């Protein structure tokens, strides 16, 4: 069989419609990390994102006969994955047990933010992410988290309220967590790509 890596998505979708497993595998390899990264952002859970990603590609295989090679495959799979997430959250809103589980995941994520950041502090990834913070937020984060100053000390030093210090830290933690997670996913993608 020809080298499918040089094929466009439309050609691969045409082959997939005919039941070509190699075409499916090529499309999967081409989009698995992009879809996974997007799902992690939407769901804020790597486990759920992996589960959704697998379900999405199984759905693509099962409905391959209905694919349209003239339409963007990339747009199609992103739209399908986002619809799956919206359906999941709608169901969660109705299902109290699932809602409680999601709230637990969110709380757990928040409580691990600082631990994850501390683990990543020695890495270039962390330094690059801190450099991307807006100047005052970077200064507040550096003073509190890297130099160990209290909210009160930083408040007096910078002439801002302790609630502003807290707000800066919350936003900085969220931003850094996201940057580090995206950087780690990209690293995994690159390592996986070069291991083939």
Q: Compute how many other C-beta atoms are within 10 angstroms of the C-beta atom of residue 47.
A: 10
Q: How many domains in the chain?
A: 2
Q: Which of 70, 94, 118 is the endpoint of a domain?
A: 94
Residues 72 and 27 in one domain: yes
Rounded to whole angstroms, the Cα distance separating 196 from 20 reads 21
Domain endpoint, select from 60, 94, 128: 94
Q: Of the spans 59-73, 107-121, 176-190, which averages the highest pLDDT?
A: 59-73
> Considering 94, 122, 141, which residue would you say is the last residue of a domain?
94
Among candidate residues 195, 141, 139, 185, the one with its CA nearest the CA of residue 34: 185
Question: Are residues 196 and 122 located together in one domain of the fold?
Answer: yes
Cα-based distances in Å from 35 to 55, 184, 188: 12, 15, 14
Same domain, 69 and 146: no
Regarding whether 37 and 20 lie in a shared domain, the answer is yes
Say how many Å lie between the first and final Cα of the chain, rounded.
18
User: For residue 30, is pLDDT > 60?
Assistant: yes
Longest dimension (CA), the chain: 69
Residues 90 and 107 in one domain: no
Do 84 and 158 sit in the same domain of this protein? no
Q: What is the Cα 160 distance to its own chain's centre?
A: 33
Percent of the chain at pLDDT > 90 equals: 27
CATH code at 79?
1.10.1740.10
Pick from 92, 146, 70, 88: nearest CA to 114:
146
| Pair 46, 104 in one domain | no
Condensed to tens digits (0 to 9), the pLDDT of residues 70-124 reads 999 999 999 999 889 888 877 766 666 666 666 666 555 544 454 554 454 446 6
Of 27-31, 37-41, 112-116, 152-156, the least confident: 112-116
CATH number of the domain bearing residue 128: 1.10.10.10
- 189 pLDDT tier (thresholds 50, 70, 90): very low
**Overall pTM > 0.95:** no
Average pLDDT value for residue range 165-189: 72
Residue 76 belongs to domain spanning: 1-94
| Burial class for 7, CB neighbours closer than 10 Å (0-12, 13-18, 19+) | middle
């Amino acid at each position: 069989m020809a080298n499918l890596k040089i094929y466009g998505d439309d050609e691969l979708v045409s082959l997939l419609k005919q039941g070509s497993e190699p075409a499916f595998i090529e499309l999967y390899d081409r989009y698995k990390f992009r879809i996974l990264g997007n799902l992690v952002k939407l769901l804020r859970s790597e486990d759920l994102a992996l589960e959704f990603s697998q379900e999405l590609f199984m759905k693509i295989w099962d409905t391959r006969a209905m694919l349209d090679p003239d339409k963007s495959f990339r747009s199609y799979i992103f739209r399908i994955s986002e619809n799956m997430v919206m359906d999941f959250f709608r169901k969660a809103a109705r299902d109290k047990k699932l809602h409680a589980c999601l709230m637990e995941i969110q709380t757990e994520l928040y409580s691990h933010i600082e631990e994850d950041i501390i683990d990543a502090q020695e890495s270039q990834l962390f330094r690059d992410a801190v450099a991307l913070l807006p100047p005052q937020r970077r200064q507040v984060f550096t003073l509190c988290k890297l130099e160990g100053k209290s909210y009160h000390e930083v408040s007096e030093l910078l002439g801002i309220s302790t609630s502003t210090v807290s707000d800066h830290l919350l936003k900085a933690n969220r931003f850094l967590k996201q940057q580090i997670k995206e950087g780690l996913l990209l690293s995994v993608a690159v390592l996986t790509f070069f291991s083939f």
